[in-house]
Every structure is written in structure tokens, then in C-alpha cells.
Amino acid sequence: MSDAASGGGLASGLLRRIDPAVAIAFGCILALLVFGSLYSSNFLSPQYLLQQLKVASFLGVIATGMMLVILLGHIDLSVPWAVSTGAMMACAAAAQGPAGAVLAVPFGIACGAVIGLANGISVAYLRIPSMIITLATNAVAQGLMVAYTGGFSPQDAASPAMRWLATGMLLPGVPNAVVIWALVGAAMVFVLTRTSFGRAVYGIGNSERAVYLSGVPARRVVLMVFVVAGALSALGGVLLAGYASKAAQSMGDAYLLPAIASVVLGGTSILGGRGSYLGTVAGVILVTLLQSILSVMQMPEAGRQIIYGVVIIAMLLLYGRTPAKR
Amino acid sequence: MREWRFWLAEQRGTLMAVGIFATMFLIYISNHPAGLTANVVQTAANKGVLLAFVAMAQALIVITAGIDLSVGMTLVLTNCLASWIVVGAPLPTALGVAGVLLTGLACGALNGLLVIVGRLQPIVATIATGAIFFGIALLLRPFPGGSVNEDLADALTGKIFGVVPASLVALGAVILFVWIPFRRSALGRAAYAAGSSEAAAYMSGVPIRRGKFAAYLFSGLFAAMGGLFLTFFTYTGEAAYASGNAYTLFAIASVVLGGVSLYGGRGSAIGAVFGALAFRTIGDLLFVFDFEPLWQPLFQGVVLLLAVSLGALALVQVKNRLEWFR
């Protein structure tokens, strides 16, 4: 985060700045690819890898928001129903005629931003611990959606635009979802490394008190981060709905743990203030490949949950420990 | 003469919870079509006791300034285990109960080791162990089913002398013979001291590590008791992801309603018990007033949101603005 390498020393600067955690994550990706290719010869084919990248891009968008929040030293547990709300509201808007179809994507994202706004106000201004208030907003969002849908999966279909965003190909050979992830990621890297806002995010993760005393509007930064995280979760939901061409109850449940796992596996400190977006990219790909291999091996859900938990704990024990006292 | 004022200040949160519960229960009973009969009390007690055990488990961790997002999954795991082993003649049943409680202790021990020795953040560590517990539960019960010793189940969920709900008596016994001795022991005080100010407690030579570990152990034990009771009520074991998460969530709400400070060191498991009873009664109010069941998740979410927002009232007392930023 500190010395930005510029100009000629890019390569050596890159080497110097490489985080061991990021290197481990990329090493694990290579190991998984080798292991997978031993298991099935299709594993290294371009179609398969591209398909994995497409699946990874949904998680990637969601994990981007999660990373911002974790960099602050907070956590966002409202991801499951922010994803579902984004998907359901976008589909609901799409069912309201042509104007609704046009506004479906922005409307879905805006609903996620509202959830993020509630989180942000509570964390930044009311000083409620983030993991508690995001659990609560998650429950409220779930309650709203259950009341709205009647507890069933809504019948509204995704709009053509949503389907195009998730499954279409603007550039030949590259799915649009991957392009969206690349755009979100590029914006994130720019914000984190080149703007004062990004500096403030890292600073708050290290010491919010110091940031506040330096005259930075710390609370406004926290608020904005939560709004962006909510919006990105909802964008992930919109893309997922476009991919499956409809929204479903609890479609977001499967994204909370992987999102946290990707960020943490990518070397971002769960205490905040430390981490690079490159690591999160590696984490997202790692988690997606792991999921894919487990499903190729026809591992049942139980085994997947256990392996997830064990992998996260192992990685945390490797480099997520708080410093010892005394 | 001053003694009682200190006692009152210390017990303020607990007494508030008792007050909230008494008010809610009065409203509930006076609007219930059947009025105050032994059966109404028994049903209410059985539902409340289940959550009360999980809330006590959560309260112990919160008192040490941690949070346990795996309590619900410990409950689900012990429920699935109990549906296998708490069956048959009295001796196997007793061994089965012991096995379930030991499993709970093991879950608590794993969490405690990861947080205390592994120095991991309680949030992520317990999210990961929760995934592991749920995975094991799913291995035990891929489909809902199983059975339980029905004599024992009926005895513990029925009425003693046709009036007093047996589950309430069991809960009272656990409080009297497990919680209060723990609270008064050196270990219990160490757990409180660790939550109140870990550095100061460490400097004073308080055995904080042992105290915290004991808190995690007892937390697992209480969650396993909740799992046992869940099996006694339903006669089956079910590995339901949503219900595990809901219990975790409701336990946090109960702990907050029960006056346990989320920053640690303040409150008591007895407060959490009354918080749980109050939370259940609030949920049941909807039925008495003939609301659509569909609105229940939203209502519970809003109650949770309001409960956690109560903590924000402490902001009013802050004299120095820097206190906002930790």
C-alpha cells in the first residue's frame, strides 16, 4: 500500500511488494490446477477454465465489497440477503413493463446500497459493532423479502439486459461477467492505491482514532464503504439472477462464507488495514477452483462445508493471527 | 447500606430484561384466547427454554468480549447426534446424553483453543468452525429423521405435578448448579475480567486464558443442552442450515435484550435467559394478534435491529468525542 512503484522499477518493485500470503494463494491455485488435471483431462481446457472464471466473477464482485469492509477492520454479514434482495428487486422491476426492464439493474443495485446505507449509518454514526448490526439488517432484509415474495421463489424473470450482462459476450471469447469483474476490480485498485479515500480506508483499519485526529472525515468514509459493499453485493445478485434467469430464496446464503474466505485467503488482515486486491483475486479464484474440484469429485455438501471450514482455519493459523501480548 | 446500590447497578441489565419479559408475557397472556393455563405456560416455556440455553451459551462468550457465530451450528450438530444415540434402555440413554454433552464440550474446546491459543479473531474462527459443525451434522443426518428416548423426552418437556413445566425446572437447575458456581469461582471472575479489560486483568495476574477457555467450554455445554432439548421437543434430528443460523441470530438478540454488553465484561447469563424468554414472547405476540405468519421474519428482524440499536444510547453518555473511535 505504501511505496507505489512507478516507471522503470516496476518489476523489482512488484517483487519487493509481493505478499507471502498472495504468493501462497497463487501457489495453491497452481497446485489445485495440477491436482485437477490429474483427476480429469478436461480440467486444463480453455473452455473449462473460462467457465471457472465466469463463475468466479460473481464471487469476485461480492468479495470486492467484502474486502473493502474488512480493510476497515469491520465485517459485513448482511451479504446473503443483500445478494438476494438485489436479485429479487431487479427481477421485480423487470416485470413492471419496458421502463422497469431498463431500470432493473440500477434498481437492484440501489436496493443493495440502501441495505449498505443502514449498515453504514449504524456502524459509523451510532457506533454499533458491525458484525451485530449487519446480522440484524440481514434479518430485516430477509423479512422484507419473505413478506414480499410470500416465502416462495418469485416468478418474475430476469430482464434481457441482466441476462446479457451475466451470460453474453461483448468481446469475443470473454464473458461479460468477467469483464464486469475486471472493471470493478480495476476501479477498486485505483481507489485503494491512488486516492485519498483509499488511504483513509487503510488508515481506519489501522487506527480510526488517528485518522479522525488527522482531520479525515472517518465516519463518512466508513459510511461510504458500507454503501459500496451493499451495492456490490446486490450487483453480484443481479448478475446471478441474470445467469440463472430468475431470483431464488436464499440464493445469497452460499456467498457469505466464500466471500470472507476469499478475502482472508488472499492475505487481507481480518483486523483491517492490510491487504492487496491482487490477493483477493487469488483468493476468489482459489475458492472457485476448490468448489469446482470438490463438485467434480462429487463431494457431498457435508464434506464441502467441512473442507471449507478446515481450509479457512488453516489459512488463518498460517497468517491471520493477532500478535501475542506482553 | 451502600451494598444494595452496587448490586442494583451491577444487575441493572438483568433486571431490565426481567421487566421486559414480565411486560411482554402479561400482554401475551391477557390476549391469549385460553388465558393463563398450565398448557399455555408449558408450550411457551418449552420454546423459550430452548432459546434460553443457546442464549446462555452466547452470553458466556460475549462476556469475554468475543462472539460465537457457531452456537446455532453446535445446537444443530448435537441435535443430529442426539437423534442417533439418546435412545433405548435407561443406561444407553444416559450414556447417549453424556456423549451429546461431551460433544458440546468438544465444540466449545475447539473454539476456545482457536481463539485463545490460535489467537484468531472469534468472528471468523467461529464462522469456520460453524461450517465444520454443520458439515458433521449433515454427515450424521443427510435427511431429517432418527428418534429419541420418548420417556425421557416427555418427562423433560412435560409438567411436574401437572402445573410446573419440567423444562423450566431443568433450566433453573442448570442455572443454579452450573452457572452460579461458575460465576462465583475464580475462573468465572477471570472470564469477566478478561472481557472487561484484558490488559489490566493480565497485569494483575488473573488467569485470563484459563477463564476464557472455561467460558468457551461451558458455552459448548449449554449449546449441547439446547440441542438435547431440541431433540426432546421434535423427536428427530435435522441438519437445517437456516435453523442453525436463526438460533445464532436469536441468541445474539437475546443476549442484547438481556443486558449483556457486547463489549464484554458486563451482564449475566441469567439476563440472557430472560432476554431469550422475552424474545420468544415477542415472536408469539404476533400469533395472539392474528398477524400473517409471513410477517414474522420481518418482525423478528426489526426487534433484533431495535435491540442492537439500544446499545447506541451509550453514545449520549460519552463526554469525549475520541471515545467514539477505538
Read off the pLDDT of residues A178-188 as tens digits, 9 standing for 90 and up: 999 999 999 99
Cell numbers at B64, concatenated: 469475554
The interaxial angle of helices B71-85 and B90-112, nearest 10 deg, is 160
B156 to chain A, closest Cα gap in Å? 31
Residue of B123, B204, B255, B305 to mutate, testing the A interface (most A Cβ within 10 Å of its Cβ): B305
Please give the pLDDT value at position A13: 61
For chain B positions 281-300, those within 8 Å of chain A (CB to CB) are 294-300
**Distances in whole angstroms, Cα of residue A6 to Cα of each of A3, A12, A189, A243:** 9, 11, 15, 39
* Partner-chain contact A312 B139, CB within 8 Å: no
Compute the CA torsion angle B63, B67, B72, B74 (nearest 10 deg): -80
Please give the pLDDT value at position A11: 60
Number of Cβ within a 10 Å radius of residue B301 = 24
Mean per-residue pLDDT over chain A, rounded: 86
* Partner-chain contact A316 B128, CB within 8 Å: yes
Q: Return the amino acid letter for B148.
A: V
* Partner-chain contact B128 A143, CB within 8 Å: no
Mean per-residue pLDDT over chain B, rounded: 87
The answer, yes or no, to whether residue B231 has pLDDT greater than 50, is yes
**Distances in whole angstroms, Cα of residue B223 to Cα of each of B106, B227, B251:** 11, 6, 10
Q: How far apart are CA A67 and CA A205, in angstroms?
A: 12
pLDDT tens column, A290-301: 888 888 888 888
Please state the rounded mean pLDDT for residues A32-47: 82
The answer, yes or no, to whether residue B159 has pLDDT greater than 90, is no
Q: How far apart are CA B226 and CA B63, in angstroms?
A: 19
Please give the pLDDT value at position A63: 96
Please give the pLDDT value at position B59: 94
* Partner-chain contact B301 A136, CB within 8 Å: yes
Contacts B305 to A, Cβ<8 Å: 133, 136-137, 139-140
* Partner-chain contact B118 A321, CB within 8 Å: yes
Q: How many interface pairs between A and B have CB atoms less than 8 angstroms apart?
A: 158
Contacts A70 to B, Cβ<8 Å: none
The answer, yes or no, to whether residue A6 has pLDDT greater than 70, is no
| Among candidate residues B34, B46, B270, B37, the one with its CA nearest the CA of residue B155 | B46
Nearest to A140 among B67, B119, B298 (CB): B298
Please state the rounded mean pLDDT for residues A169-177: 81
Contacts B253 to A, Cβ<8 Å: 136
**pTM higher than 0.90:** no
| CATH number of the domain located at residue range(s) A23-28+41-318 in this protein | 1.10.3470
From A300, which residue of chain B is nearest by alpha-carbon distance? B139
Q: Where are the domains of chain B?
A: 3-324
- The topology under which CATH files domain B3-324 is ABC transporter involved in vitamin B12 uptake, BtuC (1.10.3470)
* ipTM exceeding 0.85, yes/no: no
Residue B145 has phi, psi (to 5 degrees) of 165, -160
Q: Return the amino acid letter for B84.
A: W
Whether A215 and chain B come into contact, CB under 8 Å, resolves to no
From B249, which residue of chain A is nearest by alpha-carbon distance? A135
The answer, yes or no, to whether residue A2 has pLDDT greater than 50, is no
Please give the pLDDT value at position B326: 63
The sign of the CA dihedral A63, A69, A75, A78 is negative
pLDDT tens column, B74-89: 999 999 999 998 888 8
From B307, which residue of chain A is nearest by alpha-carbon distance? A136
* Partner-chain contact A143 B262, CB within 8 Å: no
Q: Which of A21-25, A72-76, A287-291, A317-321 has the lowest mean pLDDT?
A: A317-321
Contacts A75 to B, Cβ<8 Å: 123-124
Strands B159-160 and B164-165, sheet pairing: antiparallel
From A140, which residue of chain B is nearest by alpha-carbon distance? B301
A11 to chain B, closest Cα gap in Å? 34
For chain A positions 125-154, those within 8 Å of chain B (CB to CB) are 126-129, 131-133, 135-137, 139-144, 146-147, 150-151
Cell numbers at A178, concatenated: 468477467
Please give the pLDDT value at position A87: 92
pLDDT tens column, B272-318: 999 999 888 888 887 777 777 788 888 888 887 887 787 677 667 77
B128 to chain A, closest Cα gap in Å? 4
CA atoms within 13 A on the CB side of A69: 32
Q: How far apart are CA A206 and CA A217, in angstroms?
A: 15
Please state the rounded mean pLDDT for residues B33-46: 80
Whether A309 and chain B come into contact, CB under 8 Å, resolves to yes
Q: How far apart are CA A227 and CA A14, in angstroms?
A: 31
Contacts B312 to A, Cβ<8 Å: 122, 126-128
Contacts of B209 (CB under 8 A, 6+ apart): B116
* Partner-chain contact B128 A141, CB within 8 Å: no
Nearest to B123 among A75, A307, A321 (CB): A75
Q: How far apart are CA B126 and CA A144, in angstroms?
A: 27
B295 to chain A, closest Cα gap in Å? 6
A186 to chain B, closest Cα gap in Å? 27
From A218, which residue of chain B is nearest by alpha-carbon distance? B325
B313 to chain A, closest Cα gap in Å? 8
* Whether B114 contacts B216, CB under 8 Å: no
For chain B positions 231-250, those within 8 Å of chain A (CB to CB) are 241-242, 249
Confidence class for position A15, pLDDT limits 50, 70, 90: low
pLDDT tens column, B163-200: 788 888 899 999 999 999 998 999 999 999 998 888 88
Q: How far apart are CA B227 and CA B49, in angstroms?
A: 11
Residue of A74, A131, A148, A317 to mutate, testing the B interface (most B Cβ within 10 Å of its Cβ): A131
The answer, yes or no, to whether residue A1 has pLDDT greater than 70, is no
Q: Where are the domains of chain A?
A: 23-28+41-318
Please give the pLDDT value at position B80: 94
Whether B138 and chain A come into contact, CB under 8 Å, resolves to yes
Please give the pLDDT value at position A178: 92
* Partner-chain contact A137 B305, CB within 8 Å: yes
A171 to chain B, closest Cα gap in Å? 39
